Amino acid sequence: MNLDGVHGVIFDLDGTLVESRLDFVKMRADVGCPPDDDILGFVEGLTCLTTQAQARQVILQHELDDAQTSRWLTNGKAMVEKAQDAGLPMAIVTRNCQQATRIKIHNNQIPIDTILTREDAPPKPDPTALLMVAKQWNLHPRHCLYVGDFIYDRHAAENAGMQWLMV
């Protein structure tokens, strides 16, 4: 991870800092989401509020089950330690819910306090959460590095005008 010109590092959570065993095929099937659709966007688009609430509960249960077994990824821990050693502020921006995110952070003792979930801002690839962190740090987005493992992470960073690293 090259930190030249970087004044703050924002990490994705699942697949970047911690392992995730979320089965998105099963999750999509459980909520009736077509295989190629974004599951969060699909649920938001449901017009029946009861069906939408049920779908959200299904996703929540999948995330909570996954949170119980999530462990540090070796590379993720090394990247956090490198940012710490460089004295850089760090944040996490995740599409996860707050409850599952808190469990993962607590169980793995992840030393990052600034955390934004899908309850705090529109989910990635929307850049809002990344821009909120840059603003909180009083940094221009180009001086921030977003580290993730999925195409939504890259798109969010590009949409925010940030440097990005895919792991």
> In CATH, what number is assigned to the domain containing residue 154?
3.40.50.1000
Domain extent at residue 50:
24-69
The CATH number linked to 43 is 1.10.260
Q: What SS3 class is residue 62? A: helix
Looking at the structure, tell me whether residues 99 and 161 fall in a common domain: yes
Torsion angles phi and psi, residue 85, rounded to 5: -60, -30
Residues 6+ apart with CB under 8 A from 85: none
Distances, alpha carbon 155 to alpha carbons 88, 102, 104, in Å: 23, 25, 24
User: Model-level pTM?
Assistant: 0.91
d(CA 120, CA 118): 5
If pLDDT is split at 50, 70 and 90, which confidence band does 2 have?
confident
Per the domain annotation, does 139 fall within a domain? Answer: yes
- Name the packing angle between helices 151-160 and 128-137 (round to 10°): 50
Q: Are residues 74 and 62 in the same domain?
A: no
The DSSP symbol for 141 reads G
On whether both 94 and 142 belong to a single domain, the answer is: yes
pLDDT tens per residue across span 44-68: 899 998 999 999 999 999 999 999 9
Q: What is the pLDDT of residues 11-32, one digit of tens each?
A: 999 999 999 998 989 999 999 9
Residues 64 and 77 grouped into a single domain = no
Report the pLDDT value the prediction gives residue 139, as an integer from 0 to 100: 98
Number of domains present in the structure of the chain = 2
